[in-house]
């Protein structure tokens, strides 16, 4: 036969419920924060070349570049296009967010 619930039983059950609700809320908050952060921002690196006859060449050198690697990819782009320096009026490489 079951006994009637006492005040202590009620308080214990209430504490367990509050603890479970708090933990569920904290897990939900942290999960939402992680998913809201999303993936890291990526960039495309372009080369831009101006020629004496007015022709402009602009092309994607690299796409999907993480923010941490943009500086090295832009530098590599600049080094790889030095061959055109004699015939080009101006050239440069730049990054643009995707």
DSSP states of 63-82 as a string? EEEEGGGHHHHHHHHHHHTG
Q: How confident is the model at residue 7 (pLDDT cuts 50, 70, 90)?
A: confident
**What counts of helices (H) and strands (E) characterise the chain?**
2, 3
The predicted structure's pLDDT at residue 89? 77
Query: In this predicted model, what pLDDT tens digit does every residue of 21-53 receive, in sequence order?
Result: 665 665 666 666 555 566 789 999 999 988 888
pLDDT digits (tens, 9 = 90+) for 60-72: 999 999 999 999 9
**Boundaries of every domain in the chain:** 1-38, 42-97
Per-residue confidence (pLDDT) for residue 32, from 0 to 100: 60
Instruction: Spell out where the chain has E strands.
Output: 42-50, 56-66, 90-97
Question: What span, in angstroms and rounded, lies between the C-alpha atoms of 94 and 44?
Answer: 8
User: Taking a C-beta distance cutoff of 8 angstroms, is the pair 97, 46 a contact?
Assistant: no
Average pLDDT, rounded, for the chain:
77
Looking at residue 66, what is its pLDDT?
93
Q: Name the nearest CA neighbour of 73 among 98, 48, 94, 50.
A: 94
Tell me what percent of the residues of the chain surpass a pLDDT of 90. Answer: 28
CA distances from 75 to 13, 40, 68 (A): 64, 21, 13
Q: What would the two tokens of residue 68 be?
A: 């941490």
């Amino acid at each position: 036969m079951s006994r009637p619930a006492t005040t202590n039983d009620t308080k214990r059950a209430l504490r367990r419920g509050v603890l479970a609700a708090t933990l569920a809320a904290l897990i939900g908050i942290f999960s939402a924060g992680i998913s809201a952060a999303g993936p890291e921002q990526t960039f495309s690196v372009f080369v831009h070349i101006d020629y004496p006859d007015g022709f402009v060449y602009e092309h994607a050198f690299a796409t999907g570049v993480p923010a941490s690697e943009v500086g090295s990819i832009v530098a590599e782009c600049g080094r790889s296009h030095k061959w055109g320096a004699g015939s080009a009026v101006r050239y440069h490489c730049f990054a643009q967010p995707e």
